[in-house]
Structure 1
Amino acid sequence: MDLSSLLSPDCTRCAVAGSSKKKVLELIGQLAAPRLSGTTSFDVFESLLNRERLGSTGIGLGVAIPHGRLSTANKPVAILLTLNEPVDFDAIDNQPVDIVFALVVPEEEHEQHLQTLAAVAQRLNEKTCTRALREAKSDQELFDLFTQAEV
């Protein structure tokens, strides 16, 4: 799967301040909303927060993949963040999170949503990938590292 078709350099942020899970989800909403016509940053935030209430999207090893579906979304949008300080994300391994890949998709795209989540989880399960992402020094470097090593 070509994850670079979902992720763009302007939705990639390196070493951002995220003092809490809520603040990280709010930032994701601010970055995603302009790419989704008719959708506000609060709509995105609320979608992600509702999903988090079902169970944490912290998959372990310092990684979280918050995701949500929106009826107002006209296309899938991804956001990639590294955090300057890890935050508690209620991850399955109880470890704080410093890499966040968020995905917002149209409500009716169930199958694509699941396939994309699986591809992202597989990519972020590669230790060489996460190590390189954590060492990125700029937004562009972070984007390039995530998208270049796809197989």
Structure 2
Amino acid sequence: MDLTALLTPDCTRRAVAGTSKKKVLETIGQLAAGRCSGVTGFDVFESLLNRERLGSTGIGLGVAIPHGRVQGATKPVAVLMTLSAPIDFDAIDNQPVDIIFALLVPEDQHEQHLQTLAAVAGRLNDKQCTRALREATSDMELFEIFTQCET
């Protein structure tokens, strides 16, 4: 899975002020809606929130991968952000989260959704990659680090 085809610089943000999981999901909705024609920020937020109700997408080591299928979306969209301060995300290791990669896919792309999640999780499980992401000093540097990390 070529993650660089999903993530664009305009959906990459460094040092976002997120005070709660809900606020972060709302921010993701606003960013992603700009790339999904016919989909609102609320549609994205609702999809992510519904998925979180099934169980946290905090995978541990300060990383969360919120994801969902969005009715009306025509292509997959990703959002990458680091937070200015870690937040509680109900992660599996009970540690706060400061790196978030959100994935939104059209409702009918179940298989691609799973393959992409696996690729993202592999990349964000690399401690060298996550260390570099945390040290990024600009949105563009964050984007470049993520797209250059090996899976």
Asked if 1:84 is matched to 2:112, the reply is no
SS at match of 2:18: coil
1:2, distance to aligned residue in structure 2 (A): 1.2
Q: Is 1:100 the counterpart of 2:100 in the alignment?
A: yes
Paired residues in the alignment total 151
Any idea what the Cα deviations from partners look like across 1:59-78, whole Å, max 9, x if unmatched?
00000000000121100000
Q: Which residue of 1 aligns with 2:4?
A: 4
Q: Which amino acid aligns with 2:59?
A: I
**1:41-91 deviations in whole A, cap 9, x for unaligned?**
000000000000000000000000000001211000000000000000000
Q: Which runs of 4+ in 1 moved over 3 A?
A: none
Q: Is the 8 A contact 1:28 1:45 kept in 2?
A: yes
2:28 aligned counterpart, secondary structure? helix
Q: Which residue of 1 aligns with 2:27?
A: 27
What's the offset of the Cα at 1:149?
2.4
Query: Gaps spanning 5+ residues in structure 2: where?
Result: none
Q: Provide the aligned C-alpha RMSD in A.
A: 0.7
The TM-score, its normalising length taken from structure 1, stands at 0.99
The Cα shift of 1:148 comes to 1.3
- Shift of the alpha carbon at 1:18? 0.3
Question: Would the aligned equivalents of 1:65 and 1:101 in 2 still touch at CA under 8 Å?
Answer: yes
Residue identity opposite 2:73 in structure 1: A
* Distance in 2 of aligned mates of 1:85 and 1:111: 34
Contact 1:58–1:91 (8 Å) recurs in 2: yes
Indicate yes or no: 2:148 matched with 1:142.
no
Secondary structure at the aligned position of 1:35 is classed as: coil
Q: Which amino acid aligns with 2:41?
A: S
Match of 2:53 in 1: 53
Secondary structure of 2:34's match?
helix
Aligned to 1:69: 69
Q: Is the 8 A contact 2:123 2:149 kept in 1?
A: no
